[in-house]
Chain A
Amino acid sequence: MKKTRRLLALVLALAMTAMMTACGGSSAPAETEAPAETEAAAPETEAPAEEAEAPAETEAPAEEAEAAEEVSGDAIPIGAVLPLTGSSTGEFLKAAMEVAEDIVNNSHDLDWDLAKNEGILGGQKIKVTFADHQASADIATTEAANLLDQGVVAITGAYNSGCSASVATQALEYGVPMVCGSSSSASLTDGTTYTFGPIFNRVAANDEQESIEFFEYLKLLNEKYDAGIKKVSIAWINNSYGIHADEMFRKYAEENGFEVAASVSYEATATSFDTEAAQIKDSGADAVFQASYIGDLTLFAQAYSSLEFHPKAIVCYCGGFQDASFAQVAMDLGVNAYAGGQACTAQLSDKLPVFAYVNELYKAKTGQDIDGPALEEFASVIIAAQAIDAAGSTDPEAINAALKAGEFEAPYLITQKVHFDENGQNDIMPAVVTQLIDGKYEVVYPVDEYTTSEPVVE
């Protein structure tokens, strides 16, 4: 009996450890796990405390539970599956979607019909019902099925690429369209990896679109600012996101005449990147690309600084760079080299009044400016509502046809509109290159009326 008890004690300890780990997610864990491990990422963990106050005033957990249980009567039901447990990210995305719901349902003093009018289809409101996938792809499957059983006419989410694939797979079974906001893995819309293309639509830029833009940006740095960038290296996380980023990086580096000095992969579960950072430094790269989430990017940034490695540019594929807490990390390290894609930035508030208005509503809920993924999730709800309106019906098939056929007004984005290609990718380049200059996301490329700053070459 003593032996059995000892065995059980060991089992119990391991089980609890594994459960805690599982809280952080499995399929695409880095967004959720790493911040707590780093001092630099502390602002992110503090943010929800501020944020918790605002949503709590309007919606208590018990009310949320009821909302999750049943989709309200006359309102048009839209589902949203997000990682609400294990990290603050999901709560920020949820806040952005609630702002979108508010914009659609209530009249706002904006030069935008959707915001000006109350509701869609002649005054019907929408109701976004949230579900928590806990960054786990199998929970995403059951949560999506539950929402679809409740009769949602469109589904959004799911942030983590693996979870988005699970949700879309379920949505395909029901023939309900999915508008995916911020998942970036190219495989979601490559038309070959998955079969859910006919119902899938993604707002965010994918790795290929970003690669094209990034190398154009490097060429600009060379031509206009004499940066002398010849050799480029990449550090990428070994998952769907990182693999495709690396693939596109190599393809476009070669096409644009840059020498690939090193390609360094790392595991999502790693807790130190000193070796990988040293490999990148030793490659002699003039510019470094990163396909990393917030935790790993923060650790890489610290490792680069401690190694006194200062490349001319550090270009990031979405992920951690877009997390508002990374701005503080870069500022604390005194590095201005970080650049990456963003759907929009607070620096453009003067030029984009609708974006500025949305940002204010979001800020009132969360206490911080809206970041790239949150804006993309906001867009996903807005586009779902626009598609329902365009379809003139709540029939999922008609909504899907409207999504595939139409072009959607998006005055909150620099591009002003969104259009999905046959595989569901937003083919109007949905991001600009921003550089973190003194902790602010400044638009540095393309050079047009939305450019907010000249690039800084370190």
Chain B
Amino acid sequence: MVNIMKKYSLAFVMLAAFIIIPLAVRTTDVHNVIIYILIYAMVGEAWNLITGFTGQTSFGHAAYFGIGAYTSTVMLEYFHITPWIGMLAGGLISAALAFIINFKMFKLKGHYFAIATLCVAEILKTIFSKWTWVGAGDGIALTPITALIPDVGKSAVAKLAWLSLDVRNRLPFLYTTLAVFCVIFIICAALENSRIGFYWKAIRESHEVAESIGINPRNYKLLAMCLSAFFASVGGTFFAQFFKYIDAITVFPLSVSMIFVLVTVLGGLGNVYGPIIGSVIYYSLDLLMRRLTGSSGTGLDQIVFGALIVLVTCTEPRGIMGIVDRIRLKLAAGKRGGESHE
């Protein structure tokens, strides 16, 4: 237990911060940003599984994010089914789609695979923007479940806001999002240190070497992609519930996929802390810059963030966590040097 506490001390510190800050700073502005941080970190963790651990670059994770958003929304709006079930259904559909698409697509290497994933998201964007049953270009606006099903409002279940994922009760929604993020984080951390995680990393470093020791790269990559798609889809459900309105242009575009990429690359590719660290920096900086520049419309937030990305990736390709590791190693080396001098 002490070892786990020590190993994941950063995770516990961050968890404490995520619990305390929303209670200490009771503004909707800050709560909103924390919710965004958690949602994008969730999908960042998903993206990290396939790109960071397995080495398959995907630029199309918005596809699974969008399916999660649409599935839960359609089930809630049209069939009055709780978003919790919608979330699982969306996850399963995304995982199935990921399996079908990537079964063949994993034959593509490097940049060709990345471009193919991008195309999948673009195809889905076009389909959903034309599909009238899901609102086509008009999208779907979410009705709160308590308004959608009158009887639910009177039930004891509805009084527990987190069960209905009702965003109007913002703090319960925030903590529910945090809880789900924690589950995803724990699964990803467990996978990173499991046999499967080592196989993924072996595949990332060299297909040939992995095959030579009896690992089937395609099967393990498919497993990573299906899990990744499932988690990305869960993020999509939370996004839809939070945002209360979705259309194809909001959930499927390249710019959305790029947010997942950016937060992970900034925080640290192939590191389970990367997405959450990157997401915290991305959204905190975004908020800070917007508040500092007010309504000047200079786009300073985007310029500063772009410059930060360039700086981090040029100096340390492993992102912020790479810098942290480097500092930690230097400190440890200094300590050892000090001890030997004594």
Nearest chain-B residue to A174 (Cβ)? Answer: B28
Nearest chain-A residue to B111 (Cβ)? Answer: A10
Answer yes or no: A398 CB below 8 A from chain B CBs.
Answer: no
A66 to B295, CA, bound (A): 10
B166 to chain A, nearest CB (A): 11
Nearest chain-A residue to B143 (Cβ)? Answer: A195
User: B32: which A residues are within 8 A, CB to CB?
Assistant: 141-142, 145
Answer yes or no: A26 CB below 8 A from chain B CBs.
Answer: yes
User: B193: which A residues are within 8 A, CB to CB?
Assistant: none
Among the listed B138, B245, B317, which residue makes an inter-chain contact with A166, where contact means beta carbons less than 8 Å apart?
Answer: B245
A194 to B141, CA, bound (A): 6
Please judge, given known A-B contacts A14-B59, A68-B294, whether A173 and B141 are in contact too, CB under 8 Å.
no
Q: Is the CB of A267 within 8 A of B255?
A: no
A237 to B137, CA, bound (A): 9
User: Secondary structure of the A side of the interface?
Assistant: helix
Q: What is the 8 Å Cβ interface bit string for chain A, positions 46-78, against chain B (1 contact, 0 not)?
A: 000000000000000100111111000000000
* Beta-carbon contacts under 8 Å, A1-51 to B: 1, 4-5, 7-8, 10-12, 14-16, 18-19, 21-23, 26-27, 29
User: A281: which B residues are within 8 A, CB to CB?
Assistant: none
Please judge, given known A-B contacts A65-B296, A68-B291, A149-B29, whether A187 and B306 are in contact too, CB under 8 Å.
no
Given pairs A21-B255, A145-B29, A267-B126, 13 additional interface contacts (CB within 8 A): A4-B269, A8-B269, A18-B255, A19-B255, A65-B291, A68-B294, A69-B291, A84-B297, A86-B299, A132-B295, A142-B29, A170-B28, A239-B247
Among the listed B111, B295, B305, B309, which residue makes an inter-chain contact with A84, where contact means beta carbons less than 8 Å apart?
Answer: B295
* Beta-carbon contacts under 8 Å, B233-266 to A: 243-245, 247, 249-250, 253-255, 257-258, 261-262, 265
User: B245: which A residues are within 8 A, CB to CB?
Assistant: 137, 162, 165-166, 169
A354 to B168, CA, bound (A): 42
The count of residues in chain B whose C-beta lies closer than 8 Å to any C-beta of chain A is 55
Nearest chain-A residue to B292 (Cβ)? Answer: A65
Instruction: Mark the stretch among A240-248, A254-262, A309-317, A409-417 that contacts chain B.
Output: A240-248
Q: Is the CB of A85 within 8 A of B298?
A: yes
Q: Is the CB of B137 within 8 A of A142?
A: no
Q: Is the CB of A5 within 8 A of B309?
A: no
User: B294: which A residues are within 8 A, CB to CB?
Assistant: 61, 64-69, 130-132
Q: Is the CB of A65 within 8 A of B138?
A: no
Q: Is the CB of B287 within 8 A of A267?
A: no
User: B258: which A residues are within 8 A, CB to CB?
Assistant: 14-15, 18-19, 22
Answer yes or no: A143 CB below 8 A from chain B CBs.
Answer: yes
Answer yes or no: A138 CB below 8 A from chain B CBs.
Answer: yes
A127 to chain B, nearest CB (A): 13
Answer yes or no: A275 CB below 8 A from chain B CBs.
Answer: no
A22 to B293, CA, bound (A): 18
Answer yes or no: B219 CB below 8 A from chain A CBs.
Answer: no
A139 to B143, CA, bound (A): 21
For the complex of A and B, the 5 pairs showing the least CB-CB separation, nearest first, are: A68-B294, A84-B297, A130-B295, A65-B294, A18-B258
User: B296: which A residues are within 8 A, CB to CB?
Assistant: 61, 64-65, 84, 132
The count of residues in chain A whose C-beta lies closer than 8 Å to any C-beta of chain B is 68
Answer yes or no: B180 CB below 8 A from chain A CBs.
Answer: no
Answer yes or no: A296 CB below 8 A from chain B CBs.
Answer: no
A240 to chain B, nearest CB (A): 5
Please judge, given known A-B contacts A132-B290, A132-B297, A268-B249, whether A16 and B243 are in contact too, CB under 8 Å.
no
Answer yes or no: B136 CB below 8 A from chain A CBs.
Answer: yes
Answer yes or no: B313 CB below 8 A from chain A CBs.
Answer: yes
B122 to chain A, nearest CB (A): 10
Q: Is the CB of B292 within 8 A of A148?
A: no
B264 to chain A, nearest CB (A): 9
Q: What is the 8 Å Cβ interface bit string for chain A, positions 103-132, against chain B (1 contact, 0 not)?
A: 000000000000000000000000001111
B297 to chain A, nearest CB (A): 3
Nearest chain-B residue to A22 (Cβ)? Answer: B255
User: B310: which A residues are within 8 A, CB to CB?
Assistant: 12
User: Secondary structure of the B side of the interface?
Assistant: helix
Answer yes or no: B196 CB below 8 A from chain A CBs.
Answer: no
Answer yes or no: A365 CB below 8 A from chain B CBs.
Answer: no
Interface, chain A (partner B; CB < 8 A): 1, 4-5, 7-8, 10-12, 14-16, 18-19, 21-23, 26-27, 29, 61, 64-69, 82, 84-86, 90-91, 94, 129-132, 134, 137-139, 141-143, 145-146, 148-149, 162, 165-166, 169-170, 173, 187, 193-195, 237-240, 242-244, 265, 267-268
A166 to B257, CA, bound (A): 21
User: B255: which A residues are within 8 A, CB to CB?
Assistant: 18-19, 21-22, 26
Interface, chain B (partner A; CB < 8 A): 27-29, 32-33, 36, 57, 59, 111, 114, 126, 129-130, 136-139, 141, 143-144, 147, 168, 243-245, 247, 249-250, 253-255, 257-258, 261-262, 265, 269, 287, 290-299, 302, 305-306, 309-310, 313, 317
User: B126: which A residues are within 8 A, CB to CB?
Assistant: 267
Nearest chain-B residue to A134 (Cβ)? Answer: B299
A440 to B216, CA, bound (A): 70
Q: Is the CB of A240 within 8 A of B261?
A: no
Sample (12) of A-B pairs whose CB atoms are under 8 Å apart: A5-B317, A14-B261, A15-B258, A61-B296, A67-B294, A69-B291, A69-B294, A94-B295, A145-B28, A162-B245, A240-B138, A268-B249
User: B313: which A residues are within 8 A, CB to CB?
Assistant: 8, 11-12
Q: Is the CB of A15 within 8 A of B114?
A: no
B14 to chain A, nearest CB (A): 21
Among the listed A15, A130, A131, A265, which residue makes an inter-chain contact with B309, where contact means beta carbons less than 8 Å apart?
Answer: A15
User: A162: which B residues are within 8 A, CB to CB?
Assistant: 245, 247, 250
A453 to chain B, nearest CB (A): 36
User: A1: which B residues are within 8 A, CB to CB?
Assistant: 317
A428 to chain B, nearest CB (A): 27
User: A139: which B residues are within 8 A, CB to CB?
Assistant: 290
B52 to chain A, nearest CB (A): 11
User: A166: which B residues are within 8 A, CB to CB?
Assistant: 243, 245
A67 to B114, CA, bound (A): 45
User: B269: which A residues are within 8 A, CB to CB?
Assistant: 4, 8
A8 to B257, CA, bound (A): 15
Please judge, given known A-B contacts A14-B59, A195-B143, A268-B249, whether A243 and B138 are in contact too, CB under 8 Å.
yes
User: A134: which B residues are within 8 A, CB to CB?
Assistant: 299
Among the listed A65, A193, A243, which residue makes an inter-chain contact with B141, where contact means beta carbons less than 8 Å apart?
Answer: A193
Please judge, given known A-B contacts A138-B36, A138-B243, A169-B244, whether A15 and B261 are in contact too, CB under 8 Å.
yes
Q: Is the CB of B253 within 8 A of A26?
A: yes
Nearest chain-A residue to B31 (Cβ)? Answer: A145
Among the listed A10, A16, A195, A242, which residue makes an inter-chain contact with B114, where contact means beta carbons less than 8 Å apart?
Answer: A10
Nearest chain-B residue to A240 (Cβ)? Answer: B138
Q: Is the CB of A91 within 8 A of B297?
A: yes
A138 to B245, CA, bound (A): 10
A5 to B269, CA, bound (A): 12
B108 to chain A, nearest CB (A): 15
Q: Is the CB of A238 within 8 A of B29?
A: no
A131 to B293, CA, bound (A): 10
A65 to B130, CA, bound (A): 41
Among the listed A131, A239, A242, which residue makes an inter-chain contact with B249, where contact means beta carbons less than 8 Å apart?
Answer: A239
Q: Is the CB of A68 within 8 A of B295?
A: yes
Among the listed B111, B139, B144, which residue makes an inter-chain contact with A240, where contact means beta carbons less than 8 Å apart?
Answer: B139
B177 to chain A, nearest CB (A): 15
